[in-house]
């Protein structure tokens, strides 16, 4: 199992719409991709335009190949991309403790 | 409950020693602070010097006041600080989904 950490800055004042878009997009698109396990959406207290999405996947490939090269990925980005203030920073992690 | 996200870059080649220091420091110091709930340590696949510590606290104040202003904080930093390649980036999050 691996953790995807997506560090996102959105345009000011769009928090509620962005949160609804993420819930809709993960619920209807991302979560249907093989190897998706679960996610949390986390809203930054100090920086109100910052969100961190933490997604659990079976394997690195489940996210970086199966999902990202599928038709789901552009649909997901069409839903959440308009809120982004810049490119999200996405990396993957192994839990070590 | 709030999430503390500590984004850390360590000096190259010190992964095993850093991981042992974190486990020791959280197990003996941080976890004894009132309001500490749990943590995970996550090691980046793309950037091997990057770690993300995710810590659950009862409240923001449990971390930023009770822990950070206690004698535990400098002891914790003495254990893990020598591994840091730069200042960690620490912010706090509310889970929204």
What is B42-67 written as a DSSP string?
Answer: EEESSSTTEEEEEEEESSHHIIIIII
pLDDT of residue B97: 81
What residues of chain A lie within 8 A of the CB of B23, using their CB?
A: 97
Share of chain B above pLDDT 70, in %: 100
**Containing H/E element for B85?**
none
pLDDT band at A17 (very low <50, low <70, confident <90, very high): very high
Query: Cα B64 from chain centroid?
Result: 12
Tokens 């691996």: give the residue: A2
**H-type alpha helices, chain B:** 15-28, 60-61, 72-80
Q: Is the pLDDT of residue A14 over 90?
A: yes
Domain boundaries, chain A: 2-55+64-93
How is residue A23 written in tokens?
């819930």
How is residue B52 written in tokens?
């993300």
pTM for this structure?
0.96
Q: What is the ipTM of this complex?
A: 0.95
Alpha-carbon span B66 to B92, nearest angstrom: 15
* Residue pLDDT, tens place only, B22-41: 999 999 999 999 999 999 99
CB-CB contact of A81 with A73 (8 Å): no
pLDDT of residue B34: 97
CATH topology of domain A2-55+64-93: Alpha-Beta Plaits (3.30.70)
Q: How many beta-carbon pairs under 8 angstroms link A with B? A: 71
Alpha-carbon span B28 to A44, nearest angstrom: 28
Q: Within 10 Å of residue B13's Cβ, how many Cβ atoms?
A: 10
pLDDT of residue A91: 98
* Residue pLDDT, tens place only, A20-49: 999 999 999 999 999 999 999 999 999 999
Nearest CA in chain A to B15: A96
Nearest-CB residue to A96 (from B43, B50, B60): B43
Alpha-carbon span A2 to A12, nearest angstrom: 31
B91/A3 CB distance under 8 A: no
Residues listed for chain B: 97
Query: Which phi and psi (to 5°) does residue A54 adopt?
Result: -115, 115
């Amino acid at each position: 199992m691996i953790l995807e950490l997506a560090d996102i800055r959105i345009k000011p004042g769009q928090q509620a719409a962005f949160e609804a878009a993420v819930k809709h997009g993960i619920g209807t698109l991302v979560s249907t991709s093989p190897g998706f396990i679960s996610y949390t959406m986390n809203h930054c207290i100090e920086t109100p335009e910052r969100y961190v999405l933490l997604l659990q996947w079976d394997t690195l490939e489940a996210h970086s190949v199966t999902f990202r090269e599928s038709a789901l990925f552009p649909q997901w980005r069409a839903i959440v991309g308009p809120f982004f203030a810049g490119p999200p920073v996405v990396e993957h992690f192994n839990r070590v403790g």
